Amino acid sequence: MLIVQKFGGTSVGDLDRIANVAKRVSATKKEGNDVIVVVSAMSGETNKLVGYAENFSKNPSKAEMDMLLSSGERVTASLLSIALNEMGHKTVAMTGRKAGIITDDSHTKARIEEINPEVMRANIQEGRIIVVAGFQGVNYAGDITTLGRGGSDLSAVAIAGAIGADLCEIYTDVSGIYTTDPRIEPKAKKLDKISYDEMLELASLGAKVLQNRSVEMAKKLNVNLVTRTSFSNEEGTLITKEENIMEAPLVSGIALDRNQARISLIGVIDKPGIASDIFNRLAEAEVNIDVIIQNKAQDGTTNIDFTVPVAELNDAKSVVDAFVAKGDIKDDSYNENICKVSVVGVGMKSHAGVAARAFSTMAENNININMISTSEIKVSMVIDEKYAELAVRGLHATYELDK
């Protein structure tokens, strides 16, 4: 097999841990596999470098930041290559450039445009273990770029896709994806397999494990992703296409998003085009809208409620204020003390009653549902934040996720 193994910051956090990673990579190679390793900087290193730059400037050049930040990954890539070489392997350490990763010009948050895997392929053919510095590429002019924080996951997935690897293993300090946050529900179970779409909906559970962009990329390039821990031999969670999962459970997990705020627009003038006007303005302000509900008021106006990420609340307020000033909206109110709980599972596509059971669970726990939205594989409910944990535990039990 051709395997891409990506090791995050904590897995290469000090020299002993790098030695440990070398042992694991060496074992994988000795089993007869070809291996491309992608590494992050040692944990804390990237933040340290950001701090150094901020010491000199509040607004440092982004091109310079990329040159600076990309150095963290080069340190770990070279050290790991040296360690593996000392163990008797033929190895080569590569920068993003040598690995053939070409990006656009958006310094500090570049997008991968193409990957030219020829140099990697030739080195694999010669029996070398390749160790790539993650998180970086070059633009067409040859300047170093970085892919955004947490970007070495993306490097690994993109390389796996470009070179046609059989597997892309993401090693972190977490052993996989759980049915819900184990800090909220200690009975949460690790999932063996999950589909890309479920993983994207369960982003809040995987946030510390996998960058969302890399899951989208894995889906697009059809890369089999495994998240597992580098601190034991415990099996992780396979993230793959839905067709590869026989007998998908009805519900795979319960996600909780505490970072939502609710905006209520009261007395919105009832004329065609007003919703389009408001939401287009919000889009222009780059506010991400999630759940929306609209209903008619007695006086012929309408009320519209929607949720936005807390971090975008101020931008949203500015947009809404303009409509209030014009008289198109009578009044507005805001509530940050809400959260969104979601029941996620591809199995619900072919089963009725999943939403009804979720609502019953809220009723049994005396939790009022403020807003509801559904998709083919998800039922989301907006509720008061103080009930977040109660709701998660209740739903986890309802769908027997602890079994």
Q: Which residues pair with 377 in a beta bridge?
A: none
Out of 98, 149, 213, 258, name the contact with ligand ASP by CB under 6 A: 149
| 170 contacts 8 by C-beta, under 8 angstroms | yes
Cβ atoms within 10 Å of 330's Cβ, excluding its own: 15
CA dihedral (100, 105, 110, 113) positive or negative: negative
Is residue 206 a contact residue for Mg ion (CB under 5 A)?
no
In whole angstroms, the minimum distance from the beta carbon of 283 to ligand ASP comes to: 28
Is residue 134 a contact residue for Mg ion (CB under 5 A)?
no
In whole angstroms, the minimum distance from the beta carbon of 279 to ligand ASP comes to: 32
In whole angstroms, the minimum distance from the beta carbon of 170 to ligand ASP comes to: 10
Write the single-letter amino acid at 199: M
In whole angstroms, the minimum distance from the beta carbon of 287 to ligand ASP comes to: 25
Distance CA 312, CA 259 (A): 10
Please give the residues from 144 up to 183 whose contact with Mg ion meets the rule CB under 5 A.
150
Out of 3, 8, 170, 329, name the contact with Mg ion by CB under 5 A: 8
Given the rule CB under 6 A, which of 143-151, 334-342, 343-351, 382-390 is the region that contacts ligand ASP? 143-151
Out of 24, 77, 97, 135, name the contact with ligand ASP by CB under 6 A: 135
| 226 contacts 238 by C-beta, under 8 angstroms | yes
Please give the residues from 320 up to 359 whose contact with ligand ASP meets the rule CB under 6 A.
none
Q: Which residues pair with 375 in a beta bridge?
A: 378
Out of 10, 46, 195, 380, name the contact with ligand ASP by CB under 6 A: 46
| 251 contacts 344 by C-beta, under 8 angstroms | yes
Q: Which residues pair with 168 in a beta bridge?
A: 4, 225
Which DSSP helix (H) or strand (E) runs through 102? strand 101-103
Q: Which residue has the tokens 């390793």?
A: 37
Taking the least distance from each CB to ligand ASP, the nearer of 135 and 178 is 135
What, of ligand ASP, Mg ion, none, does residue 206 touch, CB below 5 to 8 Å by kind?
A: none
What, of Mg ion, ligand ASP, none, does residue 149 touch, CB below 5 to 8 Å by kind?
A: ligand ASP
Of 275, 174, 154, the C-alpha closest to 225 is 154
Given the rule CB under 6 A, which of 23-31, 86-94, 145-153, 231-239 is the region that contacts ligand ASP? 145-153
Is residue 152 a contact residue for ligand ASP (CB under 6 A)?
yes
Q: What are the phi and psi torsion angles at 390 (to 5°)? A: -60, -45
Pairing label, strands 237-240, 193-195: parallel
What, of ligand ASP, Mg ion, none, does residue 46 touch, CB below 5 to 8 Å by kind?
A: ligand ASP
Q: What are the phi and psi torsion angles at 2 (to 5°)? A: -105, 115
By CB under 5 A, name the binding residues for Mg ion: 8, 150
Contact positions vs ligand ASP (CB under 6 A): 9, 40-41, 46, 72, 134-135, 149-152
